[in-house]
Structure 1
Amino acid sequence: MSGKALDVLIVEDEMLLAIELEYLVEEVGCHALGCAMSADEAVDLAARLRPDLALIDVHLSDGPTGIDVARRIHEDCGGTALFMTANVKRLPEDFAGACGVIGKPYSEHGVKTALAYLACCLTEGRAPGLPPVGLTLAPRYAQLWGLDQPLSKSA
């Protein structure tokens, strides 16, 4: 990954998963800002730390509040959210402003390739190609990052 390392907030109420995600974030060259286990904690941390990317589970310790967290981080903090959830079908059509989703269970390799891909998208403003297996982009972000048109011959 070139340029500035992305600052990543982890919003996950299962401590072992949060620790694993923190490790994977660091492994791919991003900076883990911290972990939140509830909606209020996540929004507070996002407002204070201004992450570039927030990895968000839909079902947190205070209920299925991850969708609201993603929307608030997107709208109030200007950050980009990525859902990491077993509840993919619960996501609204607009992905609550999130850039996409990785369904659980996920693999270490899948998370790392998705993070590297998204780091490129967020820093370059365009996709380096099609998303890796396991990452589903929200239609709005696919269009924003140039995937609604054929990839250029140089891609």
Structure 2
Amino acid sequence: MKVMIVEDEMLLAMELESEVEAAGHAVVGMASSSAQVPDIVRDGGLEFAFVDIHLQDGPTGIEVGRMLSGKGIPYIFVSGNIKKLPPDFAGALGAIEKPYTMNGMANALAYIDAVVSGDEGRLPPASLVLAQDVGYRASGR
């Protein structure tokens, strides 16, 4: 999968990048603010994104998520406070709460890869909180 990471804490972004690459995926872009996201999306080929709620330019991650959802790009939130998510999860597949373990992230990434590839029969790991009102489906929605 070609993955974008939207995270303003550089250490966490680099840690997540390492985990994504160790799982055999490619990080095609990293953004620390919402303003950087459109350029990465425009470059094309993006298949999935991890999005933090609070970025360098404020709590703009939800807006980033809505934009990704509008373009049909599946994503999950990675946040220290998932209670701040709107009830519809802004179109996200789900959320992973910080702090997360590397094992929890690896399990979530395997599940996400399966769902994005069309394997919807897989059970989600405990580390991933699924959106109750919105469900991304590989078929387009």
Using structure 1 for the length normalisation, give the TM-score: 0.83
Does 1:70 find its partner at 2:73? no
Name the amino acid aligned to 1:113.
Answer: N
RMSD: 1.5
* Runs of 5+ consecutive residues of structure 1 not aligned to the other structure: 1-5, 146-155
Trace 1:75-154 onto structure 2 (pairs within 5 A).
Answer: 75=70, 77-129=71-123, 131-139=124-132, 140-141=134-135, 144=137
Deviation at 1:127, TM superposition (A): 3.4
Please say if residues 5 and 50 of structure 2, whose CA atoms lie closer than 8 Å, have aligned partners that are also in contact: yes
Please say if residues 33 and 49 of structure 1, whose CA atoms lie closer than 8 Å, have aligned partners that are also in contact: no
After TM superposition, what 4+ stretches of structure 1 lie above 4 angstroms from structure 2?
Answer: none
* Structure ID, larger Rg: 1
Deviation at 1:52, TM superposition (A): 1.1
Name the amino acid aligned to 1:95.
Answer: F
Identity score, percent = 42
Structure with greater proportional helix content: 1
Using structure 2 for the length normalisation, give the TM-score: 0.91
Deviation at 1:47, TM superposition (A): 2.6
* Runs of 5+ consecutive residues of structure 2 not aligned to the other structure: none
